[in-house]
């Protein structure tokens, strides 16, 4: 039992056909998906803009600086590389360019300029002279030796600026404070967009997930309801329940946790790399050089985590199956004194589950630190190389800080994608199992050629019927008999003779391979399936009651009046115990009606059938599970209500069918005798032998 479900694949590699089929469930929700994608784009762009804004605020405000070049540099080839133009500030025959614009120059080129006296390597702070700024004017007037000026522009070296008192430096850089506030506002706006985008994306992706899960579960449930008994008899109930619950949940997790995460992580990783190359190709190559090691580590981790996840799921299945089986059979465990043996066996399964959980934990505990280590090493390498570039004026400080932030944005998605990949494989496997069930075509064909008659008289005719559950293993062989309207026909025989099979064929739970079954002269295959089953109501061997009230179990969702319900209950003497209950017909039944006795459940199933007023009633082993006194009550009720209805009764207690209009005796799938009780007793054949054995006290 614990190994029963291990044939199911727990994980599966990516399959484009399965993925297309999963995504097809999004078609009815295109608008919601569009909102989610737009929100995803907004939040992704926002996250990529954040380091850019920080870089700009550092380079353009906090660390804003210029280098001074002699105007004669225009006569050299370096002019084009720096990009000097008429917009640049010129003070006393020196052109001031932003520090970042010297980035394309090599160290040799800068040394060449210095040797020629065209470049002094001193950083300056350049500002516009504001005649209305009293603090600025007072400082320039009191410390003229610190400044060089021409027209509306002035400059001071960064070292001298840092040496000024804080108040004087702040006054000089008042415009920078205004610019910085703009960057702060811009960053806050971007953060707000990220928050709103992430919220909207999560909300709509979860909304889509819930709707898809509902649609898929409804499709599965409807599909299972329409499958044939031949198909359903081969499917364990637990497996079907798993398809509609756990497997659907894996698809839900795919939409909420995997799909959006993979899209966003992929976008951020690619976007971050693109921004890195825009900022500085040399440092971007340093980051890119480390990626193969990360990708190899991720691939190894992905395979290890898949195996660990598969083992963990298998062991969880074993433990769950063992618990379910032994709790269901706890009475047997106690009766045979198997408590210690069961405990020891469960301990072994539990230990295996613990080891599987530890194995899965070990994979994640190893993978994340390794990726974090590689990320840290990459950051150190970037800082080392970047620092040398910064000292040689080849890169700005803002760019270097932005690189550190962007490295985290490159590595974080890699970790996330690797961990989500197992969920993707689980979703692939779950989807494959779901689609395999949905692709099952075994169903009773409902293609009526004629409408259901408004009145069913109840004439039943079996004509040369052959039937096998498995090919050529015939359960019924050339069965022919007729039941006239209003007749009560009993079918008896040893266990396995085919009695219950006949009742299943009348209601088309199964279709015959040869011959025909007719109701009022019409082949049952030509009648609407729903109409046929409304006209024929069976009482199965195993009574099943749903959780809910007694009234709900009798009505079964149909419009049965209260009067009709109570009349049916009175007819089978069920009203006597129902009205004795504290809440009467509104009494809540537990699962399977376990708070009623077996006989009471049987009586309630009779009331349910009779309340729906069918033309034909099939009582399959109807009184085999009630005591003699209750059987007498049932017989009195049935005798009255079967008047005017065709009925087929299958019973082990032959005394209950003495008054049947006809008794059909089956043996090895064939009719061996037909007649009334008295006629068959007089014949002293199989029926007589059954009757004699039963009355002698031998239980069949």
Helix H or strand E encompassing 363: helix 339-391
Structure-token pair, residue 257 = 């946790």
Q: What is the pLDDT of residue 364?
A: 74
* Dihedral-angle region of residue 613 (phi above 0 means left; psi in -120 to 50 means alpha; beta otherwise): left
What contacts 24+ positions apart, CB below 8 Å, involve 696-700? 700/494, 700/495, 700/652
Residues of the chain below pLDDT 70 = 1-13, 74-77, 79, 621-643, 696-700
Distance CA 514, CA 511 (A): 9
> What are the angstrom distances between the C-alpha of 272 and each of 148, 269, 281, 299, 406?
41, 5, 13, 21, 6
**Local structure of 35: helix, strand or coil:** helix
Taking residue 293's Cβ as centre, other Cβ atoms within 10 Å add up to 14
Structure-token pair, residue 483 = 């039941």
Q: What is the pLDDT of residue 211?
A: 92
Q: Edge to edge, what strands does the sheet with 662-667 contain?
A: 536-539, 616-620, 646-650, 488-493, 662-667, 670-675
Correct CATH for 460-695 of 3.40.50.300, 3.40.50.1820, 3.30.950.10, 3.40.50.2300: 3.40.50.300
Residue 394: how many CA atoms within 13 Å on its side-chain side?
18
In the CATH hierarchy, which fold is given to the domain comprising 21-27+202-438?
Answer: ABC transporter transmembrane region fold (1.20.1560)
pLDDT digit string, tens, across residues 362-379: 877 787 788 888 888 888
pLDDT digit string, tens, across residues 580-604: 888 888 988 887 777 887 778 878 8
Q: Which residues contact 639 (CB under 8 A, 6 or more apart)?
A: 659
Taking residue 346's Cβ as centre, other Cβ atoms within 10 Å add up to 15
- 560 class by beta-carbon count within 10 Å (0-12 exposed, 13-18 middle, 19+ buried): middle
Of residues 401, 54, 50, the one with CA closest to residue 193? 50
Domain map of the chain by residue range?
Answer: 21-27+202-438, 66-165, 460-695
Of residues 70, 163, 79, the one with CA closest to residue 125? 163
Structure-token pair, residue 230 = 């031949």
């Amino acid at each position: 039992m614990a190994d029963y479900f291990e044939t199911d694949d727990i994980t599966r590699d990516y399959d484009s056909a399965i993925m297309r089929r999963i995504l097809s469930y999004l078609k009815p929700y295109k608008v919601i998906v569009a909102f989610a994608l737009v929100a995803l784009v907004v939040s992704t762009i926002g996250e990529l803009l954040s380091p850019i804004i920080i870089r700009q605020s550092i380079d353009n405000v906090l660390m804003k600086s210029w280098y001074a070049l002699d105007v004669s540099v225009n006569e050299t080839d370096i002019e084009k590389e720096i990009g000097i133009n008429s917009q640049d500030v010129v003070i006393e025959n020196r052109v001031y360019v932003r520090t970042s614009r010297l980035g394309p120059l090599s160290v040799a080129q800068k040394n060449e300029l210095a040797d020629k006296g065209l470049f002094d390597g001193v950083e300056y702070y350049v500002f516009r002279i504001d005649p209305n700024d009293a603090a600025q004017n007072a400082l320039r007037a009191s410390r003229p030796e610190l400044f060089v000026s021409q027209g509306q522009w002035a400059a001071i070296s960064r070292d001298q600026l840092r040496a000024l008192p804080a108040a004087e430096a702040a006054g000089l850089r008042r415009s920078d404070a205004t610019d910085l506030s703009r960057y702060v506002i811009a960053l806050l706006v971007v953060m707000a967009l990220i928050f709103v985008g992430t919220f909207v994306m999560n909300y709509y992706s979860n909304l889509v997930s819930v709707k898809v899960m509902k649609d898929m579960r409804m499709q599965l449930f409807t599909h299972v309801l329409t499958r044939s008994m031949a198909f359903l008899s081969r499917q364990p109930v637990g497996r079907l329940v798993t398809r509609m619950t756990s497997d659907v949940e894996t698809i839900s997790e795919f939409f909420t946790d995997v799909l959006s995460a993979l899209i966003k992580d992929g976008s951020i990783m690619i976007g971050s790399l693109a921004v890195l190359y825009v900022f500085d190709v040399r440092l971007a190559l340093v980051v890119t050089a480390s990626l193969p090691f990360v990708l190899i580590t991720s691939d190894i981790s992905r395979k290890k985590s898949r195996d660990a996840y598969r083992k963990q799921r298998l062991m969880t299945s074993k433990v769950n199956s063992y618990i379910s089986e032994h709790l269901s059979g706890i009475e047997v465990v106690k009766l045979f004194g198997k408590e210690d043996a069961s405990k020891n066996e469960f301990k072994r399964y539990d230990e295996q589950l613990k080891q599987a959980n530890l194995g899965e934990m070990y994979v994640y505990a190893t993978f994340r630190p390794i990726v974090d280590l590689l990320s840290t090493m990459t950051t150190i390498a970037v800082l080392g190389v970047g620092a040398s570039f910064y000292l040689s004026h080849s890169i700005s400080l803002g760019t270097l800080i932005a690189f550190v932030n962007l490295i985290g944005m490159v590595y974080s998605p890699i970790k996330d994608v690797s961990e989500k990949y197992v969920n993707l494989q689980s979703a692939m496997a779950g989807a494959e199992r779901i689609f395999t069930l949905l692709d099952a075509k075994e169903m009773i064909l409902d293609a009526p050629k004629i409408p259901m008659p408004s009145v069913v008289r109840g004439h039943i005719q079996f004509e040369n019927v052959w039937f096998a559950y498995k090919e050529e293993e015939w359960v019924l062989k050339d069965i022919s008999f007729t039941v006239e309207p209003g007749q009560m026909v009993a079918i008896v025989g040893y266990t396995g003779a085919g009695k219950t099979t006949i009742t299943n064929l009348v209601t088309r739970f199964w279709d015959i391979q040869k011959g025909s079954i007719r109701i009022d002269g019409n082949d049952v295959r030509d009648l609407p399936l729903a109409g046929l089953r409304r006209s024929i109501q069976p009482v199965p061997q195993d009574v099943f009651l749903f959780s809910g009230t007694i009234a709900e179990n009798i009505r079964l969702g149909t419009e049965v009046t209260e009067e009709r319900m109570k009349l049916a209950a009175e007819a089978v003497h069920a009203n006597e115990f129902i009205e004795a209950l504290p809440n009467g017909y509104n009494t809540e039944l537990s699962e399977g009606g376990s708070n009623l006795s077996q006989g009471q459940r049987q009586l309630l199933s009779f009331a349910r059938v009779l309340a729906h007023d069918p033309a034909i009633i099939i009582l399959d082993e109807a009184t085999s599970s009630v005591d003699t006194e209750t059987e007498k009550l049932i017989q009195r009720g049935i005798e009255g209500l079967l008047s005017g209805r065709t009925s087929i009764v299958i019973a082990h207690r032959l005394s209950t069918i003495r008054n049947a209009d006809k008794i059909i005796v089956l043996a090895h799938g064939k009719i061996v005798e037909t007649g009334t009780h008295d006629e068959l007793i007089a014949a002293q054949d199989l029926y007589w032998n059954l009757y004699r054995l039963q009355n002698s006290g031998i239980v069949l």
